Amino acid sequence: MRLENKVALITGGSSGIGKAAALLFAQEGAQVVIADVDVAGGEALVEVIGHQGGQATFVKADVSQAKDCADMISAAEQTFGKLDILFNNAGIMDSQDDTAETTTESTWDRTMDINVKGVWLGCKYGIPALRRAGGGSIINVASFVAKLGAATAQIAYTTSKGAVLSMTRELAVIHARENIRVNALCPGPLRTELLMKFLNTEAKKQRRLVHIPMGRFGEAEEIAKAALFLASDDSSFMTGAELLIDGGITAAYVTPE
């Protein structure tokens, strides 16, 4: 098992990529801490993992709040004795996010608080724990839109994911000699509740799909497998990298018919 004797904390772990990663990490031997604002979903997932023979616990955490982030790291160490993997996955895509002219200040602030500040706070309190464990892996969720402009206007989300990518690079350089690796996942459009709520019309969906050479949305489980690679020792010489899992969207100048 690739994560045997490892402790992993996953923010936004109750659904989407986080849920898929929690299930996969547990199957690969990790003790998993699921952090989320969705208490019912998180507790149900802990139960599923337990029935499958894994070990998991849930902690309620709003990643935009410093105390919650400090508490979730403490919960990992108190419950399982250490922290080896920090998966900063929690994020939002507000349906009111639009162009620079039409996006409200409240939408902008909420997006930045969760998508950028939440990653920073996770690292602020998580890095000392990883250091205490002798090193580890941090995985930050960025997006393909950190590399390209989005076909559907979403100024706050796109900006936030660019910030996550820049933060990842700096953290990687600063902590490389401490055996702490920091990498970013850059998923393409996924068939998750988060994106489907944003692409809430067939026209919006098709506007995205036309840009994907593979002609389909990705699945949360496909991103979880990439996260497993970054969490495990298989990626032991990777830090400061951006791993694109996007169906070819960033490689395409024009899409095939």
212: in domain = no
204: in domain = no
Read off the pLDDT band of 210 (50, 70, 90): confident
- Residue 243 falls in which region: left (phi positive, over 0), alpha (psi -120 to 50) or beta: beta
132: in domain = yes
196: in domain = no
**CATH code of residue 125:** 3.40.50.720
| CB distance 113 to 64 below 8 Å | yes
239: in domain = yes
22: in domain = yes
2: in domain = no
207: in domain = no
Distance between alpha carbon 21 and the CA centroid of its chain, in Å?
9
47, pLDDT greater than 90: yes
What's the whole-model pTM score? 0.95
> How many structural domains is the chain composed of?
1
For range 11-39, the mean pLDDT: 98
Dump pLDDT digits (tens) for 131-170. 999 999 999 999 999 999 887 899 999 999 999 999 999 9
DSSP 113: I
| Residues marked as catalytic | 157
Measured between alpha carbons, how far is 89 from 212 in angstroms, rounded to an integer?
A: 23
Position of tokens 């002798």?
A: 134
Which domain covers residue 117, as residue numbers? 7-189+220-244
Name the residue among 8, 70, 15, 6 with its Cα closest to residue 37.
Answer: 15
